[in-house]
Chains A and B, each alone.
Chain A
Amino acid sequence: MSKNSVTYLLLGGLLACVCVLAVFVGAVDVPLRDFMDSSIIRLRMARILLAVAAGAGLSVAGVLFQGILRNPLAEPYVLGVSSGAGLGATVAILLGAAAYGSWTLPAMAFVGALLAVVIVYALGSVGRAMPVHTLLLAGIVVGTILNSILMFLVSYPWKDQPTDRLHNVVWWMMGNLEILDSSLLLAVCIIVACATSVAVLLGWVLNVLALGEEPAAHLGIRVERTKKLFFVLGSLVTGAIVAACGLIGFVGLIVPHTMRMIVGPDHRRLLPASALAGAVFLVVADAFARSLLATEIPIGVVTAVVGGPFFLVLLRRRRRPL
């Protein structure tokens, strides 16, 4: 058995274990006998499923953005893509779009994410190059602006909006894995599964892109088309996840980076390994968020507290290409 299959097996086994354990962790303590047939178990299982999908999807999106931008610090949250998705979803909520079906929310979030990618990409490129710091600055600035617009929309005293709905937006902004709409959960799972499959299948193209855009073009890769495809995939996944559980930062940074050290730079292995490890990471982070204090800590706060310092360490280290 190769080293890589061992890695996949270990990660898969680990994921199964943490999922089972996470079912028994929570703010509400229930005796085991009542627990098995209570509705709490179904709620928790839905929540764990969402954590699995979101963790896997955010990690895959991170690998995709890092691959196309050839920048190990690219990540949906840092690039402002999550904020774009958040704004799109907020607009959808304010317009009452949820009434048109559970796909409208992720669709609007996807539009917002894509918009943010296009703006950051245009601002971050200097001529034909895209220096790492300009890209990060562009991402952070665009993210902040989009967040401010979102805050404005939330704070504005809309006549026909009940305040509790807006309060929900604020809570959701901090990252929340509580799932109320099972068809939204299904939508997220389908989008993440499809996008991950396409990404794994085309991972070898990302490998060629690591040579640089011009060398990749010399090898017959249609670079602009390929980049667009991966940008759309990454935005689609980010949009769906943000629509369901808000802004959860740094997962797409910590997980791919760690996996790159274990399985190497080859995207055909890095993508599935990151998807598995991301799922493990978010299930564990959520279990902590639910059990650490008497009240629940927003999951976005947990990932930011872990991921922020990680990001700074990477930023200070001499930059190495993928």
Chain B
Amino acid sequence: MDAIVLESVTCGYGRSEVLRDVSLAVSAGEFVGLVGPNGCGKTTLLRAATGIIPCTRGRVLVNGTDVRALSSRELARRIAVVSQEVQMDLAFSVEEVAMMGRTPHLTLAGRRNAHDAEVVARALDLVDVKHLADRPVRELSLGERQRVFIAMALAQEAGLFLLDEPTTHLDIGHQVSALDIFRKLNREREMTVVAVLHDLNLASMYCDRVVLLSEGRIRAAGTPHEVLTYQNIEAVYKTVVVVREEPVTGRPHVFLVPKDRWTPRAPA
């Protein structure tokens, strides 16, 4: 069963096309990383997947249903997004913000029941911010705030997570702990995760499959070993890199090379 399918999607903002004829199928339970240079259309792909921007051609299917046929509430019960755009400097308490994740499950009056409280408590527990429940979000550290918004997404009880650079602004410790949460959800609860990641090495370490985007098209897709080759990376990022196996996970690791050390590559 495919969690989300993009069928030759073309879309963009106004007249400019950002994605051109992109097709991608993500199976339920997969952990997929979207990588590519700035402006290659990674975030646009997520926006197209949630119907925030409409496709000019092609279509997006979520659990086999066209997103255009789903109401925004129904869609929010199937897809949870951890967005970069979220206002982090909120005066609301941690618990209130996590409770906002219940929005697609509430009626017009917005009344919450015991089940909602239970789901939120579990979400806060899972990302380890339960002890901060009554604190205003704006008083927390960046890493803690990021976990609060992950708890909010968890409270949506959706089967599919779309993450838009969930590790930006985080130090390496928090980067690993944020992605560990999603790996755990992915492994233990078979949640599907599609993450836009800036860091190729994080993508390599955490993803089953990596999709490399360039200029609005899919340049390569496959296991980290297949996609994260120096040929692919150099062609897309226009810089020289060295790829070696990372000793702990055995996944490819990308090393950057400063321009004054660029030398012609020895023939293989």
Contact = CB atoms under 8 A, between A and B. Distances in A.
Interface of A: 70, 201-202, 204-205, 207-208, 210-212, 214-215, 217-222, 260, 264-266, 268, 320-322
A220 B76 contact: yes
7 contacts: A208-B103, A215-B83, A219-B101, A219-B156, A222-B72, A265-B91, A265-B92
Contact of B73 (A212, A220, A322): A220
B92 A207 contact: yes
Nearest to B74: A220
B190 interface: no
A47 B74 CA distance: 49
B103 A221 contact: yes
Contacts of A217: 50, 52, 72
Interface in B106-135: 106, 108-110
B7 interface: no
B87 A208 contact: no
A214 B72 CA distance: 12
Given A212-B85, A266-B96, 16 more contacts: A70-B87, A201-B109, A205-B110, A207-B100, A210-B87, A210-B90, A215-B81, A215-B87, A217-B72, A218-B50, A220-B77, A264-B91, A265-B92, A268-B110, A320-B91, A321-B89
A212 B89 CA distance: 11
A264 B91 CA distance: 7
B52 A214 contact: yes
B256 interface: no
Nearest to B155: A219
Interface of B: 50, 52, 71-77, 79-81, 83, 85-87, 89-92, 96-97, 100-101, 103-104, 106, 108-110, 138, 156
Contacts of A210: 87, 90, 92
Contacts of A320: 89, 91, 138
Which 5 pairs of residues, A with B, have the shortest CB-CB distance?
A220-B76, A204-B110, A220-B104, A220-B73, A219-B103
Contacts of B81: 215, 218
Contacts of B73: 220
A205 B71 CA distance: 17
Contacts of B92: 207, 210, 264-266
A215 B91 CA distance: 17
B89 to A, nearest CB: 5
A321 B90 contact: yes
A70 B86 CA distance: 13
Nearest to A319: B89
Contacts of A70: 87
A215 B100 CA distance: 10
A220 B152 CA distance: 13
Nearest to A127: B13
A221 B72 contact: yes
Given A219-B76, A220-B73, A265-B91, A214 B103 contact: no
B145 to A, nearest CB: 12
A73 to B, nearest CB: 16
B100 A220 contact: no
Contacts of B71: 220
Contacts of A214: 52, 83, 85
A262 to B, nearest CB: 12
A212 to B, nearest CB: 5
A214 B90 CA distance: 16
Contacts of A218: 50, 52, 76, 79-81, 83
A321 B101 CA distance: 20
Contacts of B106: 204
Contact of B87 (A204, A219, A222, A321): A321
A220 B103 contact: yes
Contacts of B91: 260, 264-265, 320, 322
Residue with the highest number of chain B CB atoms closer than 10 Å, among A70, A217, A218: A218
Nearest to A214: B85
A208 B104 contact: no
Contacts of B100: 207-208, 211, 219
B237 to A, nearest CB: 27
A175 to B, nearest CB: 32
Contacts of A265: 90-92
A167 to B, nearest CB: 47
A202 to B, nearest CB: 8
Nearest to B81: A218
A217 B100 CA distance: 12
A218 B87 CA distance: 13
A219 B83 contact: no
A211 B109 CA distance: 19
A207 B106 CA distance: 14
A70 B74 CA distance: 26
Contacts of A211: 86-87, 90, 97, 100
